[in-house]
């Protein structure tokens, strides 16, 4: 009853109710896909709030949860089928440089099979994305990135929601709070912290949690977020992204770029693999070339795609020649590719040549690595135990790094309280609970940091009315981002209108959240009205003459 009154009132006030002759067909019911509530409670609640807002515009909206792999199947492999979905881009250190997301998300070449799964196609954007990739002057590049953000803001291919904050907690009687390192866009849960945290007492193992088991631990596989915390410290890289978001020399102790197409590296001396063999230049060359072998490492292949050749130029030096200038190469490739032992993996790659499997699915029984930590045992469904590598130059102060798989959020909080874990690293629940816990418990410290990543509603531009600019602008305008940040994400998020997070201060377009075309409910209605949409009896109709030709999602 109340709903009916509300609709009538709105229709009367907005004054764009019309008779059926002035209008096209009614817009079909829209299905907003999302993850199940238990898996992603904040996203789910956000979806419900947004669906409510869209209903006020006169749309019929169904929120439909799909579980895990069925969700991925539909969104990724059935791109003609869905209307809109909640989605996210996770923050990783390698994404400290905006190139990866700027290029992959919106360049039209990636629409069929790649990360441009919404089907956005704008030649002006393609040009901008390509230019920024090759522009090595940082000020010029910055200007290009700003332009790109303004363009996307105008076109609204995504309804950006928020940049989440990473909320973690730890036991401050076990760990010296001052010894944690905060990394831009990541927070304190990062490789630098694991290398530098100092135990205060007897407990010298860091025990943390993960809500999802990693698929495997393998230098040629990019696991989900939690799995990468482990692989980042087990396998070394030539460079690493530092706490300031900029690349630092790591396994390569010197990195020079004499010209736009050349990168010269000097390999650090004295590194050893966990099986005792020394790390050689051949290993480095292999690690840079192997992902390009056929399709055996498809996840890493794009990151070596720009490498024309790798040549050994001295007893510890090598030279990489690129095919075209690449501003982000040091971050998106050299800080991402793992150093893998040639004496183990060359044979594996050879063996795989005639088999359907890729290198990603191989799980070594005793993985050989050269990082600051090495794998003691990995029972992927229960826990992963790493121990500090005794000879590694970074000298971690902790003995072991143990990750416990705990799918239940309540249980993981309880585990922190009881001491079963001493670092709550994967917390998807209500942040207020953690803050209350920290207030009431002298042992617990909470840390919140704005993430590089973002959450958004993806609009499938292959299906009307999402292919219509005015429609997208309107439905994006009614998303109350501040409300989502405060209520759905419990204050552990900030409104977003760009794929670049404010945590990346250099690249983020300041104030873009407020430059949304439309920006509120009344303005959204005006956009629709000006574009010819009409409300008939409370339901949104296409402009006159337009038929609804798309079938609703089943």
Partner 1 sequence: MRAVRTVVRYLYGEPFAAVGVAIYAVIVTMALFAPLIAPYDPRAILRDGHRIARYLPISAEHWLGTTAGGRDVLSQLIYGARAALEVGLTAAVAVVAIGTLLGLLAGYLGGWVDKLVTRFADVVLGLPFLPFMLVLAALTTPGTRVVIVTVALLLWPNTARVIRSQVLSLRERAWVEAARVTGCTTGRIMFVHVLPQVLPLAALYGSVAIGWAILAEAAASFLGFGDPDSISWGVMLQDAYASQALGRGAWNWFTPPGLAIVLMVLAGFLISRGSEKLLFPRLAES
Partner 2 sequence: MARLAAERLGHLLLVLWVVASLTFLLFRLMPGDPTLNFLSPTFTDETRAALLKGFGLDKPLWEQYIIYLAQLLHGQFGQSFLQNQPVSQILWDALPNTIVLTLVSLCLAYAFGIVAGAFLAFHRGRVVEAAAIPGALATRAAPEFWLGMLLLALFAFHLGWFPTGGAVSPGGTLGSLGNRLLSGDFWWHLCLPALTLTLFLQGLPLLLMRATMLEVLNDEFIVMARMKGLSRWSIVMRHAARNALLPVVTAFALGLGASIGGNVVIETVFAWPGIGRVLVQAVQGADYPVAQGAFIVIAFVLVVMNTVADLAYAFLDPRVSVGARR
Which spans of this chain sit near partner 2 (rule: CB under 8 A)? 67-70, 72-73, 76-77, 113-115, 205, 207, 215-216, 295, 298-299, 301-302, 355-358, 360-361, 363, 377, 379-383, 385, 400, 402, 404, 406-408, 410-415, 417-418, 420-421
Q: State the nearest-atom distance from the C-beta of 377 to partner 2, in Å.
A: 7
Q: Choose between 208 and 484: whose C-beta lies nearer to partner 2.
A: 208
By the rule CB under 8 A, 65 interacts with partner 1: yes
For 440, counting Cβ atoms within 10 Å of its Cβ (0-12 exposed, 13-18 middle, 19+ buried), the class is exposed
Q: State the nearest-atom distance from the C-beta of 298 to partner 2, in Å.
A: 4
Q: State the nearest-atom distance from the C-beta of 272 to partner 1, in Å.
A: 46
- Picked from partner 1, partner 2, none, the partner binding residue 301 (CB below 5 to 8 A depending on kind) is partner 2
Q: State the nearest-atom distance from the C-beta of 65 to partner 2, in Å.
A: 13
By the rule CB under 8 A, 161 interacts with partner 1: no
**What string marks each residue from 402 to 421 as x (binds partner 1 by CB under 8 A) or -?**
-------xx--x--------
Binder among 430, 448, 461, 494 for partner 1 (CB under 8 A): 430
Pick out residues in 27-46 that bind partner 1 (CB under 8 A).
Answer: 36-39, 41, 45
Q: State the nearest-atom distance from the C-beta of 355 to partner 2, in Å.
A: 7
By the rule CB under 8 A, 49 interacts with partner 1: yes
Q: Do the beta carbons of residue 186 and residue 425 sit within 8 Å?
A: no
If residue 257 lies in a helix (H) or strand (E), which one and from where to where? strand 252-259
Q: State the nearest-atom distance from the C-beta of 180 to partner 1, in Å.
A: 25
By the rule CB under 8 A, 429 interacts with partner 1: yes
Tally of CA atoms within 13 A in the half-sphere of 120 that contains its CB: 26
Q: Choose between 83 and 430: whose C-beta lies nearer to partner 1.
A: 430
CA distance 495 to 512: 10
Q: Which residues contact 452 (CB under 8 A, 6 or more apart)?
A: 91, 92, 95, 96, 184, 185, 186, 501, 503, 504
Task: Determine the distance from the C-alpha atom of residue 207 to the mean position of all C-alpha atoms in its chain, rounded to a whole number.
Answer: 24
Q: Choose between 67 and 198: whose C-beta lies nearer to partner 1.
A: 67
Q: Do the beta carbons of residue 298 and residue 196 sit within 8 Å?
A: no
Smallest CA-to-CA distance from 263 within 127, 136, 137, 371 is with 136
Q: State the nearest-atom distance from the C-beta of 383 to partner 2, in Å.
A: 7
For 491, counting Cβ atoms within 10 Å of its Cβ (0-12 exposed, 13-18 middle, 19+ buried), the class is middle
Smallest CA-to-CA distance from 541 within 124, 18, 64 is with 18
Q: Considering CB under 8 A, how many residues would be counted as binding partner 1?
A: 25
CA distance 430 to 497: 23
Cα Dmax for the chain: 82
CA distance 17 to 19: 7
Q: Choose between 257 and 400: whose C-beta lies nearer to partner 2.
A: 400
Number of H helices, E strands in the chain: 17, 21
Q: Could you list the beta-strand ranges (E) of 409-509.
A: 423-424, 444-450, 454-459, 493-495
Binder among 275, 282, 364, 487 for partner 1 (CB under 8 A): 487
By the rule CB under 8 A, 486 interacts with partner 1: yes
By the rule CB under 8 A, 246 interacts with partner 1: no
Binding site for partner 1 (CB under 8 A): 2-3, 36-39, 41, 45, 48-49, 52, 62-65, 67, 409-410, 413, 429-430, 433, 483, 486-487
């Amino acid at each position: 009853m109340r709903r009916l009154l509300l609709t009538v009132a709105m229709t009367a006030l907005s004054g764009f109710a019309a008779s059926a002759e002035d209008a096209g067909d009614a817009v079909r019911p829209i299905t907003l896909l999302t993850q199940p509530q238990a898996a992603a409670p904040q996203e789910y609640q956000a979806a419900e709030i947004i669906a409510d807002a869209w209903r006020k515009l006169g749309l019929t909206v169904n929120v439909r949860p799909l579980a895990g792999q069925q969700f991925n199947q539909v969104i990724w492999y059935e791109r003609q089928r869905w209307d809109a979905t909640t989605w996210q881009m996770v923050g990783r250190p390698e994404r400290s440089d905006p190139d990866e997301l700027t290029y992959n998300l919106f360049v039209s070449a990636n629409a069929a099979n790649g990360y441009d799964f919404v089907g956005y196609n704008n030649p002006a954007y393609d040009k901008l994305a390509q230019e920024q990739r090759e522009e090595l002057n940082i000020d010029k590049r910055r200007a290009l990135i700003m332009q790109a953000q303004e363009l996307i803001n105008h076109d609204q291919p995504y309804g950006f929601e928020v940049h989440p904050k990473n909320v973690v907690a730890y036991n401050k009687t076990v760990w010296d709070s001052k010894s944690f390192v905060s990394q831009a866009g990541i927070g304190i849960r990062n490789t630098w912290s694991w290398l530098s945290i100092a135990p205060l007492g007897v407990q010298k193992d860091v025990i943390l949690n993960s809500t999802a088991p990693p698929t495997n631990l393998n230098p040629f596989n990019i696991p989900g977020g939690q799995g990468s915390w482990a692989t980042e410290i087990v396998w070394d890289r030539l460079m690493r992204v530092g706490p300031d978001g900029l690349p630092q020399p790591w396994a390569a102790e010197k990195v020079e770029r004499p010209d736009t197409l050349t990168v010269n590296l000097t390999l650090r001396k004295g590194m050893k693999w966990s099986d005792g063999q020394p790390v050689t230049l051949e290993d480095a060359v292999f690690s840079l070339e192997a992902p390009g072998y056929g399709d055996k490492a498809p996840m890493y292949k794009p990151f070596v795609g720009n490498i024309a050749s790798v040549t050994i130029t001295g007893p510890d030096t090598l030279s990489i020649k690129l095919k075209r200038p690449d501003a982000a190469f040091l971050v998106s490739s050299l800080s991402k590719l793992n150093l893998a032992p040639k004496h183990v993996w060359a044979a594996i790659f050879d063996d795989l040549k005639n088999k359907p499997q890729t290198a990603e699915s191989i799980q070594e029984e005793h993985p050989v690595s050269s990082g600051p930590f090495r794998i003691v045992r990995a029972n992927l469904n229960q826990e992963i135990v790493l121990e500090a590598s005794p000879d590694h130059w970074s000298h971690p102060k902790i003995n072991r790094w143990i990750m416990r798989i705990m799918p239940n959020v309540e249980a993981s909080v309880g585990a922190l309280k009881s001491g079963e874990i001493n670092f709550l690293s994967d917390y998807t629940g209500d942040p207020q609970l953690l803050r209350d816990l920290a207030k009431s418990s002298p042992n617990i410290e909470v840390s919140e940091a704005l993430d590089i990543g973002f959450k958004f509603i993806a609009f499938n531009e292959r299906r009307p009315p999402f292919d219509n600019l005015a429609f997208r602008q309107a439905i994006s305008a009614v998303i109350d981002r501040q409300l989502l940040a405060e209520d759905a994400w419990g204050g552990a998020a900030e409104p977003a209108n760009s794929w670049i997070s404010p945590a990346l201060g250099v690249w983020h377009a300041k104030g873009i959240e407020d430059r949304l075309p439309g920006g509120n409910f009344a303005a959204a209605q005006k956009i629709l009205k000006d574009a010819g949409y009409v409300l008939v009896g409370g339901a949104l109709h296409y402009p006159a003459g337009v038929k609804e030709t798309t079938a609703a999602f089943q």
